[in-house]
Amino acid sequence: MAVLDAPRIVTSRLAYEDSHTLARYLATGGYEALRKALSMHPEKVAAEVDQASLLGRGGAGFPAGRKWSMLRPSEVAYLVVNGDESEPATFKDHLLVERDPHQLVEGVIIAAYALQVNRAFIYLRGEFALGLERVQGALNDAYDHGALGRDIFGSGFSLDVVVHPGAGATAARPSPPWAPGARPGRGCSRWRAG
């Protein structure tokens, strides 16, 4: 099979004009993987992700299952999804955020379940106005559909997700490496003695 003939997996819904809607997502198998994951033990979900060699979409392509296995147990834990796309000349996440936001939301829910986290944050670049609108709409739809909130699909697992838009110019203000630009206020240059 030539590379051009390979099946589309991550971008399979993009051929549809309404790919960002809940109706299209459900019609193309959306939230079925979540239902399957919720029927499994969380450690089994994490092991399956590790076994599948699912890679992150960052520049390093780090294996998601390995990353999850390195997390230390903690009473307070959050899942932070970095959709800033701040690497030079990248456009890999923007397309999915705008055209298939429910896929992002479902992935966040499955990851949160596997890690047993009840609060997640999706950080998106503030300049992605359409993406921000669509991800927030997808979250609202997911809550209404029962895929987010308390007792997701009757599983006993609960999760709340918040979208956090960046203020822009994230390189101008020091932030933790796991949440660039997450500090309040507008990014601005500062002079530091030193």
Number of H helices, E strands in the chain: 7, 3
DSSP state of 8: P
Three-state secondary structure call for residue 124: strand
Q: Which are the contacts of 89, defined by CB distance < 8 A and separation ≥ 6?
A: none
Tokens of 45: 């979900």
H/E segment holding residue 161: strand 160-165
Nearest C-alpha neighbor of 120 from the set 64, 163, 153, 86:
163
Domain coordinates of the chain in residue numbers? Answer: 18-69+76-168
Top CATH class of 18-69+76-168 equals alpha beta
DSSP 37-73: HHTS-HHHHHHHHHHTTPBPSSTT--BHHHHHHTPPP
Q: Residues 165-185: pLDDT tens digits?
A: 987 654 544 555 555 555 555
147, 34 in Cβ contact below 8 A?
A: yes
Q: Does residue 50 register a pLDDT over 90?
A: no
Q: pLDDT band for 94, please (50, 70, 90 cuts).
A: confident
Q: Which are the contacts of 158, defined by CB distance < 8 A and separation ≥ 6?
A: 118, 149, 150, 151, 152
Cα dist. 148→28, 165, 167 in Å? Answer: 19, 20, 26
Q: Does residue 22 register a pLDDT over 80?
A: yes
Q: Does residue 156 register a pLDDT over 60?
A: yes
Amino acid making up residue 46: A
139, 178 in Cβ contact below 8 A?
A: no
Q: pLDDT band for 41, please (50, 70, 90 cuts).
A: very high
- Weakest-pLDDT range from 34-48, 54-68, 149-163: 54-68
Model pLDDT, residue 73 = 78
Tokens of 142: 């997911």
Model pLDDT, residue 54 = 75
Model pLDDT, residue 169 = 52
Average per-residue pLDDT in the chain? 83
Nearest C-alpha neighbor of 112 from the set 75, 158, 151, 76:
158
